[in-house]
A and B are shown apart, each in its own frame.
Chain A
Amino acid sequence: MSSTTTTPDRTGAPGPATADGGSARSAWALVARREIVVRLTDKAFLGGTAFTLVLICGYLGWQVWDSSRTDSYTVAVTAADRSMGDRLVQGAPESGQDVEVALDPVADADAARAAVRAGDADAWLHPGEGGWVLTTLDSEEDTLAGVTREVVRSTVLEQQATRLGTTATALEQGTTVTPQLLEGDAEQAQIARAGSFVFAFLFYIATLTFGYVIANSVVEEKQSRIVEIIATAIPVRQLLAGKVVGTSVIAILQMLLYAAVGLVGLSFTPYSDVLGAVSGPVAWFLAFFVGGFVALAALWAVAGALASRAEDVQSTGTPLIMIVLGVFFAGFLVDGPARVVLSFVPPFSTVVMPARVLEGTATWWQAVLALVLLLAAAGLVLYVAERLYRRSLLQTGGRLSIRQAWSTPE
């Protein structure tokens, strides 16, 4: 505290700063760096990321476990139906459903019912009116029923074919129906649907959570008034740019981490053949993600600047939540020509166009055009956001409307 113990030139040290560490023009890098460091040292953020990773790994792990396990059933049969029971035991492992069947020989129908009631058997297989019946206790065993249906059908078919002096194969000849698409193929379409849903969901989660992160980081500076000190040090544009860049970097890193863990995990599951189909369009996803995210991040920064207290963000951010939800649902609800149109309209193009690329219904130049439009829109948004941000940032007297912020004098 005492100034007498130290000499002025070692303490108060008026005079020029010893070194010039950078011009105001590169200040955005400092701001971005701080945003990243703050986020990476935030326990809540790290905890949330770790929790999500655990969820992803858990889900994929369950998939792996689920696909490798074999369901075992015990089926009660009377001596009279033993031969069909044996066919079921033989046929179950060949069904491709990972099902194993063991027989529980019972004396009669009553004993069979008792065995099912007691839980000694999962089901009782017996002939019924014009076919076979699989009796279970209180819920249908879908997997077992499916396998049984298949086995019974082929067994009976064979028996009847033999009786008619022909074979089951001959009887079934020409009865298969194979679905075929004019555009793409069925598997591709399914992958595209799943892939674009996952992407739309990731985009939704990222723009919502990081939207609040960026809005709160803006309002924190406003509420704590430090923004007035910062505004005398660097242009407000630099502050906005730094925030958007820093948050975008963190958001994209987090999404890449999730995607990487998800894809690596996926390769251990039975769906590993999907990987090849997805890996190409991932680059498109990333490009559209960056463009869409930056535009929305800038708008979230404005939502923060329009607020004066953290509580206000709830209301200033509402229009943005609508946009984010709209983009999310447009990703998989809109069909037909509207979908083609939306795939060029920012911000919907962010999720719709990569989905169309994945489906194989969009050409590369359409994707490039949509991306150019998205980036142009992002640029326009940044310009508008900068003006709104600059004009509302130093207004601390309550919540501002967009109109007020636009026309307020500096």
Chain B
Amino acid sequence: MLEIEGLTRRFGDTTAVDDVSFEVREGMLTGFVGGNGAGKTTTMRMVMGVLGIDAGEVRWAGRPVTPQDQRRFGYMPEERGLYPKQRVLDQLVYLARLRGMADASAREAAERHLERFGLADRATERLQALSLGNQQRVQIVAALLHGPTALVLDEPFSGLDPVAVDAMADVLREHAAAGVPVLFSSHQLDLVERLCDRLVILAAGRVVAVGDADELRARGPLRYRVVLDADTGWLRDVRGVHVVDVDGPTALVEVVDDGAEQVVLREAAARGTVREFTPVRPALADIYREVAAR
């Protein structure tokens, strides 16, 4: 398990990351969400040891993380980069060897991963001869090649076509299933919602919410969609609810006092036919906007 405890990093007068704590558990996909400048990249760089820490600690397997631990992590920096003029297979082998793999097994693993990402026939080409999407795939391979003990991926889905997104998602799930803690950041909230077991929401350098998708939704406002035969204007007079929207026979109400939705339901039934009475699950995007704005 990767534990981030009270991480803080200042750049001059601004505090980019402010007392950030969360866990990346084994076997779980943890999504790291936040707007531009929220501190995701800074946090990930501190976790990987390429940026100094002003306060706090990164812990791995219950003790402070060491460079030897970080060496075995798989990392994809926000700004992609490999050697443009070197051949794909050669530089993958080189990077794997830097992480301690033997030549033969590095070569074998590189070929295997290239095959998986449909790049087996491009192995001997120079990186710059590949399309940007394919370069991105090589970048993913570079992060996975050495059989990482943890994955820290900054925006791994950006720049991928839908097929590659699926492949990437499969890869992440497989690693999680094999017991590897996976932390990745993304702007694509629908993707995060679909994939992640846990979410960490960051805003202005602080953690504003942690939990699985359902837990986070539970933090959102409880709303009901009411569809009647007649006009729903009367809902405005019901105590304990807040009417978000009214459009003829359709209304969206937010429950302010616990149990007030039952009052609404009884009243509606008394007035005529109730066509629809459904709890509205807030989209993760809404939750995100809500907590990020707070």
Contacts and interface: CB of A to CB of B under 8 A. Distances in A.
B181 to A, nearest CB: 11
Contacts of A19: 101-102, 104-105
A30 B98 contact: yes
Interface stretch (A224-232, A333-341, A353-361): A224-232
B117 interface: yes
Contacts of A38: 86
A1 interface: yes
19 contacts: A1-B116, A12-B116, A13-B147, A14-B147, A14-B174, A14-B175, A14-B180, A16-B147, A17-B100, A17-B101, A24-B71, A224-B81, A225-B79, A225-B81, A228-B77, A229-B82, A232-B48, A233-B98, A396-B79
Interface stretch (B49-57, B198-206, B214-222, B243-251): B49-57
A21 B81 contact: no
A242 to B, nearest CB: 10
A208 interface: no
Given A1-B118, A410-B52, A14 B81 contact: no
Given A224-B83, A228-B77, A228-B81, A233 B147 contact: no
Interface string B114-139: 01111000000000000000000000
B114 to A, nearest CB: 11
Given A15-B147, A17-B105, A19-B102, 17 more contacts: A1-B164, A11-B112, A15-B178, A17-B101, A17-B147, A18-B105, A21-B100, A22-B100, A223-B81, A225-B77, A228-B50, A229-B143, A231-B49, A231-B50, A232-B50, A232-B70, A233-B95
Contacts of A17: 72, 96, 99-101, 105, 109, 146-147
A226 B142 CA distance: 11
Contacts of B163: 1
Interface stretch (A2-10, A92-100, A320-328, A399-407): A2-10
A75 B182 CA distance: 95
A1 B170 CA distance: 11
A400 to B, nearest CB: 15
B224 interface: no
A20 B79 CA distance: 29
Contact of A12 (B81, B103, B174): B174
A2 B171 CA distance: 11
A6 B116 contact: yes
A13 to B, nearest CB: 6
Contact of B101 (A3, A21, A229): A21
A230 B83 CA distance: 11
A235 interface: yes
Interface string A185-207: 00000000000000000000000
A24 B68 contact: yes
Interface in B163-184: 163-164, 167, 170-171, 174-175, 177-180
A220 interface: yes
A232 B100 contact: no
Contacts of B68: 24
A320 B94 CA distance: 31
Contacts of B71: 24, 232-234
B87 to A, nearest CB: 9
B100 A20 contact: yes
B160 to A, nearest CB: 11
A226 B100 contact: no
Nearest to B79: A225
Interface residues of A, number: 44
A13 B112 contact: yes
A394 interface: yes
Contacts of A8: 174, 177-178
A15 B101 CA distance: 13
Contacts of B167: 1-3
Interface of A: 1-3, 6, 8, 10-24, 27, 30-31, 34, 38, 220-221, 223-235, 394, 396, 409-410
Contacts of A10: 112
A13 B96 CA distance: 14
Nearest to A30: B97
B51 to A, nearest CB: 7
B70 A226 contact: no
Nearest to B81: A225
A47 to B, nearest CB: 16
B30 to A, nearest CB: 16
Select the residue from B81, B109, B179 with max chain A CB neighbours within 10 A. Answer: B81
B75 interface: yes
Interface in B148-167: 148-149, 163-164, 167
Contacts of B73: 232
Contacts of A228: 45, 50, 75, 77, 79, 81
A27 B170 contact: no
B236 interface: no
A226 B8 CA distance: 25
Contacts of B49: 231-232
Contacts of A220: 83
Across the A-B interface, give the 9 residue pairs with the lowest CB-CB distance, nearest first: A225-B81, A21-B102, A14-B178, A410-B52, A224-B81, A19-B102, A12-B174, A233-B98, A1-B118
A14 B94 contact: no
Contacts of A14: 147-148, 174-175, 178-180
B109 A12 contact: no
B106 interface: yes
Contacts of A221: 83
Contacts of A30: 94, 97-98
B279 interface: no
Nearest to B108: A18
